[in-house]
Structure 1
Amino acid sequence: MPENSPEPWEYCLSIPNDPRAVTVSRRTLRLILTAHGLIGLVDVAELLATELVTNAVRHTKGPAALRVRWAPPGTLRIGAWDADPEPPEPPVPLARLGEAEEGRGLLLVRACSEVWGWHPLSRHGNRGKYVWCELAAA
């Protein structure tokens, strides 16, 4: 399927709160993008998904999910849901990058994506947040 497919698609992978979920998510994303002919986005998409899922698993206690969505004419949205409704820590300012022990993940997300954001979620009594970013197909 070519990159400029006119049909949108979406995948959602539910993951447990387990550090191994990061590797599973990254490999699943690679398979999805390869199957849809989006090889050119794989490396950056894997980096972004790794950061988002790592934050979801590392900073929360409940389950999480990776969501990947393609919207024509060429936008890939990658997001991670987790059960904690608290906002993510803001990215570390670039000037403080060398001294920061944490907070570099969202700095990478901000630097490598076209746009990123987050919003709280509440559905059927479940609360949490969704942190996402978008890549444009070249």
Structure 2
Amino acid sequence: MGTVSLPDTWVYALRLPHDPRAARVARMTVRAVLKGHGRHEVLDTVELLTSELVTNAYRHTGGPASLRLTALADGRLRVGVWDSHPRVPAPFGEPPGDRVPLAPADAEGGRGLRLVQEHADCWGGLPLGNGPLDRGAGKLLWFEVSGRDA
């Protein structure tokens, strides 16, 4: 009888309602998943950045959001947040990894995306659906953090 080992790659997805508690639910989910997979080294960063993206989805849309956590074979972790608004904000609207001027630390908004620039290894975003029948398809924002070997 052979032993069963958990795969290094996995995917979790979560649909979030348009609710002010969505960021908290996302944080709790990220914490549980990463602890369950022994990914303690990225837990705080992923939890913080996920919370920022989900909060933005709630604040800037009137619809639901989705969260997707993907562990890649090389140890990286990719987090994607979909929402129903088609506009991709800077720095996500720039080519992945490009840096744009950061919001001042005392600014009313924009600090969450500053955190992504400071703590993620790479990030990006894309509007979804360009055809006339794709109205309301929204956008996907994502970031990646390095794995164990970083």
Q: TM-score, normalised by structure 2?
A: 0.81
Query: Comparing 25-34 with 96-105, which one deviates more in the overlay?
Result: 96-105
Q: How many residues align?
A: 133
- Give the distance between the partners of 1:12 and 1:117, measured in 2 at CA: 19
Once residues 41 and 105 of structure 2 are traced to their aligned partners in structure 1, the CA distance between those partners, rounded to angstroms, is: 30
Aligned to 2:67: 66
Counterpart code for 1:80: V
Question: Equivalent residues in 2 for 1:82-101 (5 A)?
Answer: 82-90=83-91, 93-94=101-102, 96-101=103-108
Instruction: Classify the secondary structure of the residue corresponding to 2:61.
Output: coil
State the match for 1:47 in structure 2. 48
Aligned to 1:24: 25
Moved over 3 A (4+): 89-92, 123-126
Q: Which stretch shows the higher mean deviation, 123-132 or 72-81? A: 123-132
Where 2:137 maps in the other structure, the secondary structure is strand
1:128 aligns with 2:141: no
Corresponding residue of 2:94: none
CA radius of gyration, larger in: 2
- Name 2:57's counterpart in structure 1: 56
State the Cα RMSD in Å: 2.1
SS in 1 for 2:71: strand
Which whole-Å CA distance do the structure 2 matches of 1:92 and 1:58 have between them? 22
Q: Which runs of 5+ in 1 are unaligned?
A: none
Percent identical residues: 47
Q: Which one has a larger percent helix, Structure 1 or Structure 2?
A: 1
Cα deviation for residue 93 of structure 1 reads 2.8
Q: Does 1:8 align with 2:19?
A: no
8 Å CA contact 1:92, 1:103 repeated in 2: no
| The structure with more strand, counted as a fraction of residues | 1
Q: Secondary structure of 2:41's partner?
A: helix
Distance 1:65 1:99, change over 3 A: same
Counterpart of 1:108? 115
- Unmatched tracts of structure 2, length 5 or more: 1-5, 92-98
After superposition, give the CA deviation of every residue in 1:32-73 in whole Å (9 maximum; x if it has no partner): 001111011110110110111011111111110111000012
TM-score normalised by L of structure 1:
0.87
Contact 1:92 1:104 survives alignment (8 Å): no
